[in-house]
Structure 1
Amino acid sequence: MRKLLNTLYVMTPDAYLAKEGENVLIRVQEEVKFRIPVHNLEGIVCFGYIGASPAVMALCAERNVALSFLTENGHFLARVTGPVSGNVLLRRKQYRMSDDPVECSKLACAFILGKTANCRTVLQRALRDHSETIQREQVEKAVVSLGTRIEKISRCNSLEILRGLEGEAARIYFSVFDHLILAQKDAFYFCERNRRPPLDNMNALLSFLYTLLMHDVQSALETVGLDPAVGFLHRDRPGRPGLALDLMEELRPFLADRLALSLINRKQIDAKGFIEKESGGIIMKEETRKIVLTAWQKRKQEEIKHPFLNEKIAVGLVPYAQALLLARYLRGDLDGYPVFFWK
């Protein structure tokens, strides 16, 4: 199992990444503000238009440290990686299976099943933890409806029908998502999912967390030797990491949605941390991003018992565990892909 290391998030304006021996440096106006040995890192995520020297890019590529560049509001720009690693036979098997409609349907069914079941768990936990304050009737109705969709998904073998069922389940889940927001309702509300750009504070927070999750999932897939661009549910599109989007589906409710609700309901963030741009889009201020990133890293250090491996692992290792299990299935070592079901 991969050791849980650290992801370095760089948000300082005018920062520049440089290399000194085996260290990654962060310089601001030629002054070294931060220094860390490269072997202590699993990834670097830069927000805003931060520069990086070719030497530090080469160092990260050589040491398998993912280096990603995002805009200040979390929109993905680029990613620097080294030579393609992993077993070429595994990747060829992945490509062949992605062209097989039957195999695509089997894996798509697993991803959508995991996503829908974990969405239902989010609602069930909210009912359990906030039984006196939540609007029970509508949320309980959504739990029942998602259960019905789970039964249909588990019996479906058509990719197009699966996508339709996924859309129905998402509409049911997000139709009651606003009921899970129990504090700061004037600043944080949810009407519908929107992005590019997000048009309210809640969607801005969700989009930011999904971007962080994407970075971790893509790194996990590359670590086990899979191609993040070739998916089974999300079809090929230039520049789109289809397999990373596939694997993210079952992890969004557990890793991102739940954390977003906790940050708001515990009042760790507030409306002052968000700015509305002239275009109508919402972005987070730097201080709020730091709070969210700190909570994200803290969450990744917690432990959970993996439902298939039956052992305790750090939450931050769940994407790597699922990527490894997916690779084992593609190689033929497992009869099916073991979905991550949050209990």
Structure 2
Amino acid sequence: MTTELLNTLYVQTQGIELRLEEDSVRIRHPDQPGRRILPLRRVNAIVVYGHVTLSTELLTRCAQDGRTVTWMSRTGRYLGRLDGAVRGNVLLRHAQHQAHDDTETRVAIARQVVAAKVRNSRWIILRAARDATPTPQTAMRARANELAQALTKIPDAADIDALMGYEGNAARLHFEALRHALRPDDGIPPFERRERRPPTDPVNAALSFTYGLLRSLVHGATEQVGLDPYVGYLHGIRPGKPSLALDLMEEFRAPLADRLVLSLFNRRQLRAEHFDALPGGAVNLTDDGRTVLFQAWQELRDKPATHTLAGRDVPTGLLPTMQARLVARHLRGDLPAYLPWTAT
């Protein structure tokens, strides 16, 4: 199935071919008659999953227009992207590198990233606890209290290793609480812990897929603002690792991705028939399951979210771009600190 969402074309049907036809994308499946034409002016990004072919002419045109093309695995794992020529002010990127090389500045930014992750994780846990029965409610509030205690320690973290320890512990507490918040349909096994490579149950499969959508959104936001997505502060610098994008993802994981997955299971929108068990124990979303997630992701991106610093509501899909701009303002010296987004 091919789905056009918020000017992003998501293509998941295996074997589809995308070709440039004048100022349009021609979409064709070799085993199905007919074709679909989509004007390029309606598309500002293309995301493809698995075996999908794009012609050289289409890729060239996307690069020239600044239209991103992102490749994902069928399970939603990020593989790579095409962005065209490098955009942005070289002085901003130079300041970004200098901030990474300055230990005090790097740790200060990383503290804000981890604190935002913990606050937003605690927020979703407390919201979920309000509607829970007494036993899971008690467990979730206990995890929320532990996260509150962790928040008091983060300002005193002296280095990145300490902050990574707090971040890892916060993730563990978060998923322990998420287990109690889930009330899935019959046929969905209980969620026990986070399993990524590969996901071994439906909840983990949905989480991994949604994190892929979030990563693509945040990665694009950093490049749109002119930052280097590969120079981060909490996650450091490693070949092929978009560290800044991963940094900014931390504050959005719980309130966007995890909350979306939680809602889809608890509302029975994701059900057992939306998942396939593969040899070796891996679990994947079916095409129909991915369509459910795409549609929910579209609705979430359109939904207004409060941005305290901006003093107004903005579409949720624009939050990563606004935060990338705040990173840039801090690096330029316009803000004394990076100010992360926290859910309200």
Q: Same fold (TM over 0.5)?
A: yes
Query: Which letter does structure 1 place at the counterpart of 2:261?
Result: A
3-state SS of 1:176 partner: helix
Structure 1 portions without partners, runs of 5+: none
> 1:134 and 1:310, CA in 2 relative to 1: closer, same or farther beyond 3 A?
farther
Q: Secondary structure at the match of 2:235?
A: coil
Name 1:49's counterpart in structure 2: 51
> Residue in 2 aligned with 1:340?
341
Q: Deviation per CA, 1:131-165, whole angstroms, max 9, x where unpaired?
A: 44662211111111110101111332321111111
Q: TM-score, normalising length from structure 1?
A: 0.95
Cα contact 1:26–1:32 (8 A) shared by 2: no
Query: Match of 2:210, SS?
Result: helix
The answer to whether residue 249 in structure 2 is matched with residue 251 in structure 1 is: no
Per-residue CA deviations over 1:165-217 (Å, capped at 9, x if unaligned) read 11221121112211110232651422111112111111110000000000000
Partners of 1:134 and 1:182 within 8 A in 2: no
Match of 1:99 in 2: 101
Counterpart residue number, 1:208 = 209
Mean alpha-carbon deviation: is it higher for 268-277 or for 202-211? Answer: 268-277
Residue 71 (structure 1) aligns with: 73
- Identical amino acids, percent of aligned pairs: 37
Distance of 1:188 and 1:66 partners within structure 2: 37
Cα distance in 2 for partners of 1:245, 1:154 equals 21
CA distance in 2, matches of 1:289, 1:188: 19
Question: For residues 131 and 72 of structure 1, what CA distance do their matches in structure 2 show?
Answer: 34
Q: Given residue 244 of structure 2, which amino acid in structure 1 is its aligned partner?
A: L
Q: How many residues align?
A: 339
Q: Is the 8 A contact 1:13 1:50 kept in 2?
A: yes
Report the CA distance between 1:227 and its aligned residue.
Answer: 0.8
C-alpha distance in 2, partners of 1:291/1:333? 42
2:82 matches 1:80: yes
Cα distance between partner residues in 2 of 1:127 and 1:76: 32
C-alpha distance 263-5 of structure 1, shift in aligned 2 (>3 A): closer
CA contact (8 A) 1:39 1:63 kept: no
- The answer to which of 148-157 and 292-301 deviates more is 148-157
Moved more, 153-162 or 94-103: 153-162
TM-score, normalization: structure 2?
0.94
Q: Deviation string for 1:91-145 (max 9, x for gaps)?
A: 11111111221111111111111111000000111122x1446622111111111
Query: In structure 2, what residue type is equivalent to 1:286?
Result: D
* Structure 2 residue aligned with 1:8: 9
CA distance in 2, matches of 1:335, 1:31: 59
Structure 1 residue aligned with 2:272: 271
What residue is the counterpart of 1:149 in the other structure?
150
User: Which amino acid is the alignment partner of residue 266 of structure 1?
Assistant: R
Q: Is the 8 A contact 1:38 1:60 kept in 2?
A: no
Aligned to 2:227: 226
Q: CA deviation at 1:34?
A: 2.8
In the other structure, the counterpart of 1:166 is 167
CA distance in 2, matches of 1:170, 1:77: 24
Q: Distance in 1 between matches of 2:138 and 2:36?
A: 52
What secondary structure is seen at the aligned counterpart in 1 of 2:234? coil
